[in-house]
Chains A and B, each alone.
Chain A
Amino acid sequence: AQTVTQSQPEMSVQEAETVTLSCTYDTSESDYYLFWYKQPPSRQMILVIRQEAYKQQNATENRFSVNFQKAAKSFSLKISDSQLGDAAMYFCAYRSSRGYNFNKFYFGSGTKLNVKP
């Protein structure tokens, strides 16, 4: 089974600064999808950004961007101009793109992001 590892249980960033959250994964597949989800104190899981493994270009969504290194199996999330509302748990997730398990998502253990005013 695929595994997703987030090695930073907690991080802090000053408001308006930039922070990078790390994620690595283990897979033997060549086609797959990677995601970052945000979970604020409300517990709602919110999709932040998605990356298709066959695309070399890194995904961006406003202040959020990823650094996808397929050979290294690394998928980091960069948050620019951090805002107080970015404070949350962030989960990295993996989904296969084919086969019987293509619907299954595998999640990392999460990184808690604190934003200091």
Chain B
Amino acid sequence: NAGVTQTPKFQVLKTGQSMTLQCAQDMNHEYMSWYRQDPGMGLRLIHYSVGAGITDQGEVPNGYNVSRSTTEDFPLRLLSAAPSQTSVYFCASSYGRGLDTDTQYFGPGTRLTVL
């Protein structure tokens, strides 16, 4: 049971380039989400999904796209990278049933630098 995996761990992009951050989970979780972590600002929600085929925007969605074709995978696409997108990105998942025991499990993070 690998939990939540993210690739790559590190990435450097030039302004204007596009790329996809990969996220996968093997816990059969319905809910998946992407956060960015910037110094002094905690984690901010970018996009989330409550199940395959269903996605919605979080607090800071601009410049990012997501899709959820399977329960396991939830990739995050940067359409045209900007220096303001330099951050650490976390993927998280949970059962999404609102139960007491429902908590989010996080991936190890991707450190992205946009030059």
Q: Chain A: residues with CB nearer than 8 A to chain B? A: 1, 4, 6, 9, 33, 35, 42-45, 47, 50, 52, 91, 95, 97-98, 102-110
Contact = CB atoms under 8 A, between A and B. Distances in A.
Interface in B56-115: 58-59, 88, 90, 92, 94, 96, 98, 100, 102-104, 106, 108-109
Given A98-B98, A107-B35, 14 more contacts: A4-B42, A35-B103, A44-B108, A44-B109, A45-B106, A52-B100, A91-B43, A97-B98, A103-B96, A105-B104, A107-B43, A107-B44, A108-B42, A109-B40
Main secondary structure of the interface of A (DSSP, over half): loop
Contacts of B92: 45, 105
Interface residues of B, number: 26
A102 B102 CA distance: 10
Counting from the closest, the 6 A-B pairs by CB-CB distance are: A45-B106, A107-B42, A107-B43, A109-B42, A102-B98, A43-B109
B97 to A, nearest CB: 9
Contact of B31 (A9, A91, A103, A109): A103
A91 B97 CA distance: 23
Given A43-B108, A45-B106, A33 B42 contact: no
B50 interface: yes
B27 interface: no
Given A33-B100, A47-B103, A103 B94 contact: yes
